[in-house]
Structure 1
Amino acid sequence: MAKKGKIPKPKSAAEGVQELERPTIKWRTIGLIAGGFVVLWITAFMIQGYSQGSPYGWIPVGVVGVLTLVAIGFGIYVWRLTQKSRGIVDILAQATDEEGRKRAIEQLEAADAKDAMSALARAQLVSRDSPADAIKILEEIDVEKAPAVVQDDVRANLGFLYLMNGRTKDARKLVDQLRLDRQPNAKAKAMYAAVSAETFARTGKPEEAQKLLETYDANDPEYGEVKGMLLRAQVYTFLALKKRGRAGQAMKDLAQVDANMLAPWIGKKTRPEIKQLAEQALRSMGVAPKMQMKVMRK
């Protein structure tokens, strides 16, 4: 019989900060695009040269000119967005302890409380102590007016908070709008997949959830802390598919990653089969599952 122990302390904020990725400008990509425009300009002037003075020869030059202006405008937009992202990451980097976390929240509020990127970062910091306040922050964001690259981040984070609070129907509305194909970052894409899979599993589409989870391997080191979210989604998916053995293994794997993620399933309102799997996983680690824990509704 396993010796009763304590639930391990939650991972420190410093560990999460260490995994933050500071946005960078991809100069190689910019160089390739610039090279492409050089070729277009050369081609346009060659066509104009062969037009023998015809005014139509200037049409290609005009088209390339318009495309160049559009590209420059888009480049400025991306550069500004990258600079803003860097600033937010630098603020988040302070959140290595409780004092730093509070200071980061204050700075994000002071910077621009209505900015989608700042609000998203603030919600992520606030959610640790108050998921309800984090939900409120994200719900106040006008997603349609947010930058395209931020819209799905807001939906995925808000969707996960809804799932943690049992609001599966609200999560489903957000997940149905998620676009994994437009997210270039592997870790963020895996996070979208985890939220989508759990939502599908809990709203009657476990087969679709399984397809997603087969694509995103929880053991891929590139996914970092998202591994826990993928394993959580596996628990719901395998239970919905009546594969209790695989659900139990996913629960044990999740306990090894972070036993605190099992806390929401120890409450009285949890489905009996999930609660039983969580208790079994904790016992296998030598942890007493009936100890008092800070529990959020599942």
Structure 2
Amino acid sequence: MAKRGKLPKPKDASEAFENIEQPTLKWRTIAIIVVAFVVLWVTAFMIQGYDEDGVFGWVVIGVVGALTVAAIGFGIYVWRLTRKSRGIVDILSQATDEEGRKRALAQLEQGDSSDALNALARAQLVARERPADAMKILEDIDLGKAPAVVQDDVRANLGFLYLMNGRAKDARKLADDLRLDRQPNAKAKAMYAAVAAEAFARTGKADEAAKLIETYPADDPEYGEVGAMLLRAQVYTHLASKKRGLAQQSMRALAKADANMLAPFLGKGVRPELQQMAKKALKSVGLAPKQKMQVQRRF
């Protein structure tokens, strides 16, 4: 526990870049799909062999052939997307200090500025110091041209920035379109849930928010640093559900997890009730709420 009157140093966002998970192809899934197509082809040729007229058999072979071509095309698309993601992750992994962030940003700026993955990475790099610039980068992305999963990444990251800057209604518009079911990564899915839950709780959908925080518990070790975002969502959800005691518990847990995440609760324009809860939570862990805290943006 930190000494009374002293706040811990903000957690360095560079740690997140050091530990970025490399995108990989799911070879087991690919193997299952390949086996399935082998079975389809064997079945198609068997049908063709037993078909005396030959017409129906060739129709079946044609259908299987069309499905195979479509599957190959989709596989190439996924492979190219994974390869592009790996390249961007390699660039982001350099951002372990200020100089590294500058180098990574320079490399990304040399790439295709209209590419959604590139823009998302640039926003991550500038969000810590210039959240307004990060929001502008994400707002300029043409979601209609981005892959489905990338669309949700953009919505979640932009939504979180909106929430951190008092724009709950704008975050809600993004949360309404978030699709958790198409995100395979557990931590990313939990991040989506945290953003959606907070946006719902702050815009009149406390019941929907409650379902999300129950499904994605903040203490799940698989979620890592996203747990703090889930705790923040819990605070708003419990308050919206008129469960002040639970909200205070979540605020206290958030103070223990990352005291700097309480900084927005102490700003101007925040409900007095939230301010008091944040101050009480900070005092409970031996910290001084009057001292300046720096907020680390999480993506």
TM-score class, shorter-chain normalisation, is over 0.9
Asked whether the 8 Å contact 1:251–1:277 carries over to 2, the reply is yes
Mapped to 2, the partners of 1:211 and 1:249 lie a distance apart of 18
Asked whether the 8 Å contact 1:197–1:212 carries over to 2, the reply is yes
Q: Which residue of 2 aligns with 1:59?
A: 59
Letter in 2 for 1:61: I
| Mapping 1:115-194, distance limit 5 Å | 115-194=115-194
Cα deviation, residue 88, structure 1: 0.7
2:283 counterpart of 1:283: yes
Letter in 2 for 1:215: T
Match of 2:293, SS? coil
Match of 1:111, SS? coil
- Percent identity between matched residues is 72
Asked whether the 8 Å contact 1:156–1:195 carries over to 2, the reply is yes
Asked whether the 8 Å contact 1:126–1:134 carries over to 2, the reply is yes
Q: Which residue of 2 aligns with 1:32?
A: 32
Mapped to 1, the partners of 2:40 and 2:139 lie a distance apart of 45
Match of 1:112, SS? coil
Letter in 1 for 2:271: R
Mapped to 2, the partners of 1:55 and 1:281 lie a distance apart of 75
Mapped to 1, the partners of 2:26 and 2:182 lie a distance apart of 17
Range that drifts further, 40-49 or 101-110: 101-110
Q: Which residue of 1 aligns with 2:106?
A: 106
Mapped to 2, the partners of 1:15 and 1:50 lie a distance apart of 63
Asked whether the 8 Å contact 2:248–2:281 carries over to 1, the reply is yes
2:72 counterpart of 1:72: yes
Match of 1:208, SS? helix
Mapped to 1, the partners of 2:264 and 2:187 lie a distance apart of 24
| Mapping 1:232-247, distance limit 5 Å | 232-247=232-247
TM-score normalised according to structure 2 size? 0.95
Q: Which residue of 2 aligns with 1:196?
A: 196
Q: How many residues align?
A: 295
Mapped to 1, the partners of 2:210 and 2:25 lie a distance apart of 35
> Which ranges of structure 1 fall in alignment gaps of 5 or more residues?
none
Asked whether the 8 Å contact 2:131–2:161 carries over to 1, the reply is yes
Match of 1:30, SS? helix
Mapped to 2, the partners of 1:289 and 1:254 lie a distance apart of 14
Match of 2:209, SS? helix
TM-score normalised according to structure 1 size? 0.95
Mapped to 2, the partners of 1:285 and 1:209 lie a distance apart of 27
Mapped to 2, the partners of 1:295 and 1:188 lie a distance apart of 20
Asked whether the 8 Å contact 1:262–1:278 carries over to 2, the reply is yes
RMSD: 1.5
Cα deviation, residue 265, structure 1: 1.3
Mapped to 1, the partners of 2:32 and 2:112 lie a distance apart of 35
Asked whether the 8 Å contact 2:44–2:61 carries over to 1, the reply is yes
Mapped to 1, the partners of 2:295 and 2:56 lie a distance apart of 72
16 and 199 in structure 1: CA distance in 2 versus 1, 3 angstrom threshold: same
